[in-house]
Amino acid sequence: MDECAKDVTHRSKLAQKWLSEGRVVTPYASGIIDEQKLLAPSYKVIVSTDDVFFVFHPSRESKKRKVVLSEKSCTCTDNDQTGLPCRHIIRVLLHTDNMSLLHECSDYAYSIEAYCNAYLAKSIALPVYEDIVPDSVVKPSPIYRQAGRPVKRRIASRGEVSSGKTYKCRKCTGIDHNRATCSKHSASEEAAQPALPAGSSYAGFHRVAVYAPMNMADILHENSSDHDQPEVHQ
């Protein structure tokens, strides 16, 4: 809103300046017309009627453009796209000695009159916070769920300076890293684990016995061997 207010004020001053200078069209339109005026004398004119003319360049005689003076129109794309007199129309005006109609061949949007009607003595009043009244008539736009994964991080507004705090660790609450890459977290885990003995010495450590599965015959044989056998007297 602030930028719009500044822009309208600037354009209002330009309208006043151009009006006092006696301009007929805007400087932008004048620049394009001057470029076309430099190219127009190199073209030739064939008179069809008092109102219809055919204009071509000597190097491309087969490529002729039709100019209707009463309609201020030409079959070239420049005149149709810009709304300003092209080199062919200007060449016809030079041929018929009607250069006074040059600015009449321009679209009304390029005239100083149209510019002044739009911006002269115009301004935008910025809203004052104390004067803002809630309006229940204007409803917020409906929210539609978009396709794809939802955005988890807020998109910064224009002109907003990024804080640079991309990551925050859940373990140490530090920034610029997460739990997996936290140096404090990994150091505390290493300190909590018991140190393994170096080399092949395992004194003080007991290996957990691993028993292989046994069938019933082996179990009975082992139990019978555990009991004392009676002595046989001869």
Q: Mind listing the pLDDT tens digit for each residue in 2-17?
A: 788 888 888 999 999 9
Residue 142 one-letter amino acid: P
Confidence (pLDDT) at 134: 78
Whether the pTM exceeds 0.75: the reply is no
Q: Encoding tokens for residue 57?
A: 């360049």
Give just the sign of the alpha carbon dihedral 109, 114, 117, 119. positive
* Contact assessment for residue 45 and residue 98, using Cβ atoms and an 8 Å cutoff: no
Average pLDDT, the chain: 81
Mean local confidence (pLDDT), 168-180: 81
Sequence-distant (6+) residues with CB within 8 A of 123 are 5, 8, 9, 12
Strands (E), the chain: 44-47, 52-57, 60-68, 73-74
Most confident of 41-45, 136-140, 143-147, 226-230: 41-45
SS3 call for 65: strand
Smallest CA-to-CA distance from 96 within 25, 30, 40 is with: 40
Mean local confidence (pLDDT), 140-160: 81
Confidence (pLDDT) at 125: 81
Distance, in Å, from the CA atom of 54 to the CA atom of 225, rounded to the nearest integer, reads: 127
Tell me: the pLDDT tens digits for 72-130?
A: 999 998 888 999 999 999 999 999 999 999 989 999 999 999 999 999 888 888 878 87
Position with higher pLDDT, 9 vs 54: 54
Q: Which of 61-70, 161-170, 210-219 is predicted with the least confidence, judged by mean pLDDT?
A: 210-219
Exposure of 181 by Cβ count < 10 A (0-12 exposed, 13-18 middle, 19+ buried)? exposed
